[in-house]
A and B are shown apart, each in its own frame.
Chain A
Amino acid sequence: DQQVKQNSPSLSVQEGRISILNCDYTNSMFDYFLWYKKYPAEGPTFLISISSIKDKNEDGRFTVFLNKSAKHLSLHIVPSQPGDSAVYFCAATYYGGSQGNLIFGKGTKLSVKP
């Protein structure tokens, strides 16, 4: 049973516009959420995170929004740049859950076109 879902396998956006990547989760015990970015032939790298006590966290061009009632989070990239083209993984964890192991979604491939 998939606990973290990224329902859009791919997304294409024009350079300079906003990219919105979505993630839904089913486990209401999740209290910490993360986004990782992965380029081809490289390992995933941490991008941004948010605790369940917040509904927004911002880091430069990247903002993550959390809607606990809807069990939904989203990553906004503004403005999008061609270098943002990568696969983005949403992940979640909760206190007491298997030593805090991360549960990953299947990923969304973002393509930013010049």
Chain B
Amino acid sequence: EAQVTQNPRYLITVTGKKLTVTCSQNMNHEYMSWYRQDPGLGLRQIYYSMNVEVTDKGDVPEGYKVSRKEKRNFPLILESPSPNQTSLYFCASRGLRRTDTQYFGPGTRLTVL
């Protein structure tokens, strides 16, 4: 089954404790992206990657890091989480064409205390 998986689905942590949210896709997609969803703000892009070792900032990259060492994986790293990073996070992937359908993962609910 074609899918984007994220782990963990739920995470409660404390300020300053480094964490990684994993994302993996099995569709051989070149493009992968991270979004956060906040009430009243919709979906905002954090980082995206056009292919292995190619990453770029989205609209709200501050406080986040990403890496793309393998085509299927695109982890999101919070080196020093803060309460304003409490949010619902989605990973997504699609083919190279911008009109290709973008598939989203199920989401990761992160709470930073």
A residues in contact (CB < 8 Å) with B: 6, 9, 32, 36, 41-46, 49, 51, 89, 93, 95, 98-102, 104-107
Contacts and interface: CB of A to CB of B under 8 A. Distances in A.
Interface residues of B, number: 26
Given A104-B42, A106-B42, A44 B104 contact: yes
A95 B68 CA distance: 24
A9 B105 CA distance: 24
Interface of B: 4, 31, 33, 35, 40-45, 48, 50, 56, 58, 90, 92, 97-99, 101-107
B43 A99 contact: no
B58 to A, nearest CB: 7
A43 B98 contact: no
A112 B103 CA distance: 25
A93 B45 CA distance: 13
